[in-house]
Amino acid sequence: MTMAIDWHLARALLEWQVELGVSDAVLAEPVDRFARAEAMMEMAADLATAPVAPLPGAAQPAIQSAVQGPDPVAEATRLAGAARDLPALAEALQDFAHCELRRGARNCVFADGNPDARLMIIGEGPGADEDRQGRPFVGKAGQLLDQMFAAIGLSRTSPDPAASFYVTNTVPWRPPANREPTPEELAMLRPFLLRHIELAAPDVLVLVGNVACDALLGQRGILRLRGTWVQTRGLPAMPMTHPAYLLRNPEAKREAWADLLAVRARLDGRG
C-alpha cells in the first residue's frame, strides 16, 4: 500500500531534509552516467543521419541536425564581450543557459567584496554554503580566507580600494557533490572570467587552487606553482593553496603566510 503525499507535505519533507544538511540526492541503485551519455550521443548521431521524407508537394528544406546548436564557448565570448560593466556581466552570466551546472545549483555566485579593490582573488567554485547564500567563500574555507588577508591589512568589506579585496570563482554554479569543473565547463565559462578581470581591472591577482591556475594559466600542480609570481591577462598573479587545503594540512600555513607577505609587498611596490 502506498501513501499519497500532497504537495505541501512533500515540500515540508524536502525543507526538513535541507535543514538537516542534505545537499545531494542518492538513488537506490548506481547510475552509469557515462553509458547514458554514450547512448544519447549514439541516438543523436542516428537522428542526424536518418533520411527525412519530404512532404508531398513541398520543397525539401535544408535540415539541421538536432545535435547542432550555438557553440557555447562562442556564445559565452559574445555575451561576455557585450557586457559593459560588472552588473551587466553578472546578468549575462545568470542568463547563460548552456552550462549544465546551473541546473543543480540554487544560486549564480558572481562575486563579493569591493569591485574597486586593487587585489582580485579567484577561487575554484562554490560549495554548499556559497550556493545557499549566493556569495563566494563564506564557509569555513572562506572564513579562513578572510583571516588570512586580514593579517596583511585587507578586508572584503572595506570601502577603501587599497585596504580591500574582490573575490570570485572560475565557475559561478556549484558542481554536483563539490567535484571539480570539467574541462568543457571551464572552457565555456572562461570568457566570463576573463571579462570579469577586465572590468574589475585589479592591480594584482591571487589564484587560489588548481582550478583557478588551470583556467588562467593552463597549468596544474598548485604545490609546485605556489609562491612564484606569474603573468596572466597582463597582470602579476600569485598562485596560492586553497584555504580548504590549509584546513586539512595546517602545517602548510607557513608557506601560505610567505605567499601573503609577497602579495603585500607587491601591493606596496616592494615586490
Q: What is the DSSP string of 63-85?
A: ---TT----HHHHHHHHHHH--S
What pLDDT score was predicted for residue 35? 63
Residue 12 reports pLDDT greater than 70: no
pLDDT grade for 18, boundaries at 50, 70 and 90: low
Whether the Cβ atoms of residue 128 and residue 23 lie closer than 8 Å to each other: yes
DSSP state of 239: E
**If you average pLDDT over residues 179-208, what whole number do you get?**
97
Range with lowest mean pLDDT among 36-45, 199-208, 248-257, 261-270: 36-45
102 alpha carbon, distance to own chain's centre: 10
What is the structure's pLDDT at 5?
58
Whole-number percent of the chain with pLDDT over 90: 73
Taking the C-alpha atoms of residue 265 and residue 236, their distance in angstroms, rounded to an integer, is 12
Long-range contacts of 41-48 (CB under 8 A, 24+ apart): 41/67
- pLDDT, mean of residues 221-241: 97
Q: CA-to-CA distance for 114 and 147, rounded, in angstroms?
A: 17
Confidence of residue 63 (pLDDT cuts 50, 70, 90): very low
Give me the phi and psi of 78, to 5 degrees please.
-65, -45
- Sign of the dihedral through C-alpha 18, 22, 27, 33: positive
What pLDDT digit, counting tens, does each position of 25-59 carry? 666 666 665 666 666 666 656 655 555 555 455 44
Task: Provide the residue ranges of all domains of the chain, joining segments of one domain with +.
Answer: 73-267
Q: What is the dihedral of CA 145, 146, 149, 152, to 10 degrees?
A: -140
CA-CA-CA-CA dihedral for 230, 136, 201, 234, to nearest 10: 20
For residue 71, the tally of other CB atoms under 10 A from its CB is 12
Count the Cβ atoms, other than its own, within 10 Å of residue 98: 16
Q: How far apart are CA 9 and CA 11, in angstroms?
A: 5
Residues in the chain: 271
Span 208-222, average pLDDT: 97
Average pLDDT along the chain: 87
Burial of 76 (0-12, 13-18, 19+ CB in 10 A): buried
- CATH architecture assigned to 73-267: 3-Layer(aba) Sandwich (3.40)
89 burial class (0-12, 13-18, 19+ CB within 10 angstroms)?
A: buried
Which ranges of 125-201 does DSSP label H, i.e. alpha helix? 128-133, 140-150, 183-200
What residues contact residue 96 under an 8 Å CB cut-off, 6+ apart?
75, 76, 79, 102, 189, 192
Q: Would you give the DSSP letter of residue 259? A: H
Rounded distance between C-alpha atoms, residue 119 and residue 166, angstroms:
6
Query: What cell numbers appear for 60 in the block?
Result: 525539401
- Whether the predicted pLDDT of 192 surpasses 60: yes
Give residue 64's pLDDT: 41
Using one digit for the tens of pLDDT, what is the confidence trace for 127-180?
999 999 999 999 999 999 999 999 999 999 999 999 999 999 999 999 999 999
